[in-house]
Amino acid sequence: MSRIDYKAAAAYVFILLLAFFLIFYHLGDRLMWGDETETALLAVNVAKYGLPKVSDGVNTVTYMGENIDADKYGNWTWSPWLSEYLAAASFKLFGQSTAAARLPFAIAGFLSVALIAFVVYRIYGSHEISGMSMLFLSTSEVFVLHVRQCRYYSLVIFAEIVFIWGVYMLLKGRRAAGIALAAVALTIQFYSNYIVVSGSVAAFVVLAVIIYKRYDGFLRSASAVFLFFTLAAMPWIVHARPWRQAEYAGRENIVEKVVYYLWEMNFHIVALVIFIVPLIYLLITSPNEGRQRQPAEDVETFLWILIPSVAATVSFAPGVYLRYLLPLLPAVFVLQAAILKRYIGGKIIRYTLVIILCLTNYAAYYPLYPIKLLDPSNIPFKIHQPRLSLTTLIQETYTPYADRLGDVVTFLKKEGATGQSVYIADSGMSLIFYNGMRIINAKSENMGNLKELPDWIFTESAAVQAKKAPPMYPSKEIADYYIPISLKVHASGKSGSIPEPDMHESFTSKDMEDMLVFRKKADIFTHN
């Protein structure tokens, strides 16, 4: 019977407790932003109708128009439904709230921290590599911000760890377990967001081409994985016909997006300078030819392939979002831990580097500082500032937060009523979820063409936005039917609870500003 390593056990418990605090504490404190409320509102309809209907009879959830993001029966088709069903299950169990909406995804994030420790130890047999991988993941700003969302983000991270486990089992000759794990992992990613699964698939194909001669039956196993995955994905492909969305992909410069993703990954996920260490080692040492490679080494080969594969494939998706790189988190943190253990001799130096990497972005910032000394206008990417990212994240977790959206929601809960109509310059999904109001989006409906006057007119968006649009005032004719109200709201400067680190607002703005709101007079009911 093997002895228990109490130091390793204590380290695992400490990291799990830290992860639990960062992921779950004040989980429902911040109101959900737009993408979260999309998932939450569809989940409400799942709980009500059994399917993610875009309309509840009063409001419609849509981004691109009903003919694009829903089928002819009014079922959401812009993205798969796994997230919506998980949130709906949580609503059934715990009621409709912000915390309940986020809870399934926070649990998946916490399980990811535990699972990466288990899988990495299975691969390397090293508590140190396992513990470092676990610590890097749980203290990652990108990881924590994303898994605290009512969104698919934590699911793709969890699935990637399962996929790495499946690849390792295949390399060990455990075909049945490896095929099952890999196929399930790809299926979870597909039904979370099929954009991000493409990078995992491409990396697996490249790995199979490279190593199949060294592992008997690997190609057959890989083919079985793709067969089961294809069968699992086929119902959605037939129903949703995702190729219709292809016209929205690949419009930007792909090369620039790949470089941008790597640049942002360096500052927000992992310091790329760490990955230069093994390259230097290869240059100054002679290769040990003829040595039998171990499965752990080929797992690392897969992780190395995964980095450019994901960066390249997600660059074809519309927009530039760091969330698309989430499948890379387990890969880069495992590689980083393995590199530190293998090439950095002496625990004092190694653990000092671990502390720097967990607490700060210094290892990403200072190697690139000479670029900042040049003319920054010649650099198309943001030069980030050095900071203590983890301490900021910890402080943010326990600090109450308020923004303009919360101020508007609180105001309407006090002054408005469920079912009243609001004319506003955004989709108003948060007002639908939190206030039960009927939203009239100014972007799609002109105020002068309305058959009935709305109960409320907001001259500005209630959502926290990076750039404020000009105020939207009603005409003199319409304004006569309303009482103007000046509402004090927080001057939120960025994008509130959005998890993108460059847009995320960590703390409440100290400044307040006026928002002009119009309330319909009680004796006015129609407008001709």
* pLDDT of res. 370: 66
Q: Judge whether 154 and 162 are in contact, CB under 8 Å.
A: no
The pLDDT value recorded for residue 222 is: 95
Q: Judge whether 285 lies within some domain.
A: yes
In the structure, what pLDDT confidence band is assigned to residue 260 with cuts at 50, 70 and 90? confident
Does the predicted TM-score (pTM) go above 0.75?
yes
Q: Residue 69's pLDDT is what? A: 83
Task: State residue 212's pLDDT score.
Answer: 86
Q: Is the pLDDT of residue 322 over 80?
A: yes
Among the three residues 362, 395, 428, which one is the final residue of a domain in this structure? 395
Question: What's the N-to-C CA distance of the chain in angstroms?
Answer: 85
Asked if the model's pLDDT at residue 118 lies above 70, the reply is: yes
Lowest mean pLDDT among 1-5, 397-401, 445-449, 519-523: 1-5
Residue 348 covered by a domain: yes
Same domain, 322 and 197: yes
In order, the DSSP letters of 58-93 are: S-B--SS-HHHHB-TTSBB-SS-SHHHHHHHHHHHH
Considering the domain architecture, whether residues 253 and 184 belong to the same structural domain is answered as yes
- Alpha-carbon gap, residue 348 to 333, rounded angstroms: 20
Reported as a pLDDT band with limits 50, 70 and 90, residue 527 is: very low
Output the CA torsion 119→120→126→130 (10° steps).
-110
**Is there a domain that residue 127 lies in?**
yes
What contacts 74, CB < 8 A, 6 or more positions away? 53, 54, 55, 66
Please identify which residue in the block is written with the tokens 């715990």.
94
pLDDT reading at 464 higher than 80: no
Residue at which a domain ends, from 360, 395, 430:
395
Under DSSP, the state recorded for 53 is B
Complete DSSP assignment for 284-309: HS---TTPPPPHHHHHHHHHHHHHHH
For residue 286, what pLDDT is reported? 62
Q: Are residues 128 and 188 in the same domain?
A: yes
Q: How many domains are contained in the chain?
A: 2
| pLDDT tens digit sequence for 263-275 | 889 999 999 999 9
Q: What is the mean pLDDT of residues 177-202?
A: 95
> What is residue 291's predicted lDDT score, i.e. its pLDDT?
56
Instruction: Show the domain range for 131.
Output: 6-30+79-395
For strands 482-490 and 456-458, give the pairing.
Answer: unpaired
pLDDT single digits (tens) 467-504? 677 788 888 888 889 999 999 999 987 678 899 988 89
**224 within 8 A of 184, measured Cβ to Cβ:** no
Q: Which residues make Cβ contacts (< 8 Å) with residue 14, sequence separation at least 6?
A: none
- pLDDT of 528 reads 46
Predicted confidence (pLDDT) per residue in 68-80, tens digit? 788 888 999 989 9
Is residue 65 domain-resident?
Answer: no
252: in domain = yes
Q: Is residue 245 part of a domain?
A: yes
Among the ranges given (2-6, 27-31, 396-400), the one the predictor scored with the smallest mean pLDDT? 2-6
Of 348, 378, 395, which closes a domain? 395
Lowest mean pLDDT among 57-66, 126-135, 494-503: 57-66
Residues 6+ apart with CB under 8 A from 140: 269, 329, 333
CA-based nearest residue to 427, from 32, 30, 34, 31? 34
In a domain, 479, yes or no: yes
In the block, tokens 């003829």 appear at 290
Angle at 274 between CA 502 and CA 300, to 5 degrees: 105
Write down the number of H helices and E strands in the chain.
22, 5
Q: What's the rounded mean pLDDT across residues 384-405?
A: 91
The answer to whether residues 502 and 408 belong to one domain is: yes
Tell me the pLDDT band of 245, cut-offs 50, 70 and 90.
low
pLDDT at 353: 95
- The verdict on 417 and 343 lying in the same domain is no
**To the nearest whole number, what is the mean pLDDT of the chain?**
88
Q: Are residues 426 and 365 in the same domain?
A: no
Q: Which residues, other chains included, contact 280 with Cβ-Cβ below 8 Å and sequence gap of 6+?
A: none
C-alpha 167/C-alpha 170 separation (Å) is 5
Q: Which residues contact 377 (CB under 8 A, 6 or more apart)?
A: none
Asked if the structure places residue 43 within a domain, the reply is: no
Residue 111 pLDDT class (50, 70, 90 cuts): very high
Residue 226 and residue 205: Cα distance in Å, rounded? 10
Does the pLDDT at position 137 exceed 50? yes
Give the torsion through C-alpha atoms of 78, 83, 84, 90, to 10 deg: -170
- Do 237 and 360 belong to one domain? yes
Confidence of residue 418 (pLDDT cuts 50, 70, 90): confident
In this structure, are residues 331 and 307 in contact, taking their beta carbons and an 8 Å threshold? yes
Q: What is the mean pLDDT of residues 95-102?
A: 96
| Co-location of 465 and 349 in the same domain | no
Average pLDDT rounded to a whole number, residues 369-381: 56
477 and 375 in a single domain? The answer is no
Are residues 382 and 447 located together in one domain of the fold? no
**pLDDT value at residue 248:** 60
Confidence band, pLDDT 50/70/90 cuts, at residue 1? very low
Distance CA 29, CA 13 (A): 26
Q: Give yes or no: residues 372 and 464 share one domain.
A: no
Residues 142-158: pLDDT tens digits?
999 999 999 999 999 99
My answer on whether 322 and 442 are in the same domain is no
| Mean pLDDT value of segment 105-118 | 98
Identify the helix (H) or strand (E) that includes residue 124.
helix 98-124
